[in-house]
Amino acid sequence: MKVVIQRVTNASVSISNEKVAHIDYGMLVLLGIVNEDTQDDINWLSKKIANLRIFGDENQVMNKSLLDTDGEVIVVSQFTLHAATKKGNRPSYIQAAKPDVAIPLYEAFVNQLESDLGKKVQTGQFGADMQVSLVNDGPVTIIIDSKNKL
């Protein structure tokens, strides 16, 4: 699993001009899934996100996590995170898991993150044509790949 995390002052997801998710302060998490991903990837990545210290403390030092703040989360599936661009100019998405594999893993990830955070996680809609809006705070953008744990 690969994620792009953006610390945001607000973010939203719309589908066909209808807002399906909105947060004011927290993280927008773009999630890419491959066939090799397992529950171990979900558990590790969810705990990493819940504990990631990217929010300012009283001295504005990035020392607080979602668990320490009132921050909210939106998780959006994004197969394009696994684009292969080495050859040619048209990205290949062959590494991205197909929906029959990706959807259950996506749902399990959201459920695990809710469990680790102790709060509801908002989402986009898997496979939909979504419009994602955000105001990146900082800007703070972090990429984490569960296959690069060490």
Which residues are annotated as catalytic?
78-80
- Per-residue b or e along 119-142, where b marks 16 or more CB atoms closer than 10 Å to that residue's CB: eebbbbebeeebebebeebeeeee
Residue 116 and residue 113: Cα distance in Å, rounded? 5
